[in-house]
Amino acid sequence: MSEQVLVEARDGVLEVTINRPEAKNAMTKEAAEAIAAAMDRLDADGDLRCAILTGAGGTFCSGMDLKGFLKGEYPVAGNRGFGGLTTWTPKKPVIAAVDGFALAGGMELAMACDMIVASKGTKFGIPEVKRGLAAGGGGMVILPRLLPRTLAMEMAITGDPISAERAHELGLVNVLTDGPAIEGARELAARVAGNGPLAVIASKGVVRDSWLWADEDVNAKQSPYIAGVFTSEDAREGAMAFAEKRKPQWKGR
């Protein structure tokens, strides 16, 4: 167990905290591997419904640990990318709870999550060009899909950040909080965790994977994701609970 990442299960939600506040939670290879291991736990544990990824000490993640980079270390976990999350995703949802700064790889890590909760005053940016680098963890590709292309271009080639308030207005941030982002993230996670787990997994899969599906292929490509949902015990339980005006008792099967 790495001390650079803290992991705690709370009410069906796995809270994963980057724990390098003295370094503004700059990402190391050790931390990336620990995040990847936490996501494996998320998918393997039937009692866990989603995860929250956050940072200790009032900062989400300031990007790559440049001291490690100068020593030849890259903060990736195998083929899972920066922070163990930028080139793959677990089957269950992950919410980023962002305070302070999400910069460079830190912003790419936040965008790799399925939803973002941010506290007011937080800054998002990909300032790699200011250090003679480029946002190679997906920032230059994902950002123009989530924000207006001209704004994404501005952020990529000036390195200047945007505020959480503007990110929220443009739809990059789901929830903007007055206090710590973890509070809003827990509320959002509870809303997710209260739903049918198979349905949540299928819905995440379709929303993420359908980005580039051709219109004529949608039904055929979507069917494998949702077929098992409609024949599951949970589907019957959801319908019965609605008819009986009670809370569903999900079994995940």
Considering the candidates 3, 15, 128, 187, report the single residue annotated as catalytic.
128
Considering the candidates 8, 22, 108, 154, report the single residue annotated as catalytic.
108
Instruction: Please confirm, yes or no, whether 244 is among the known catalytic residues.
Output: no
In three-state form (DSSP H/G/I as H, E/B as E, the rest C), the secondary structure along the chain is: CCCCEEEEEECCEEEEEECCHHHCCCECHHHHHHHHHHHHHHHHCCCCCEEEEEEHHHCCECCECHHHHHCCCCCECHHHCECCCCCCCCCCCEEEEECCEEECHHHHHHHHCCEEEEECCCEEECHHHHHCCCCCCCHHHHHHHHCCHHHHHHHHHHCCCEEHHHHHHCCCCCEEECCCHHHHHHHHHHHHHCCCHHHHHHHHHHHHHHHHCCHHHHHHHHHHHHHHHHCCHHHHHHHHHHHHCCCCCCCCC
Instruction: Please confirm, yes or no, whether 108 is among the known catalytic residues.
Output: yes
Looking at the annotation, which residues are catalytic? 108, 128
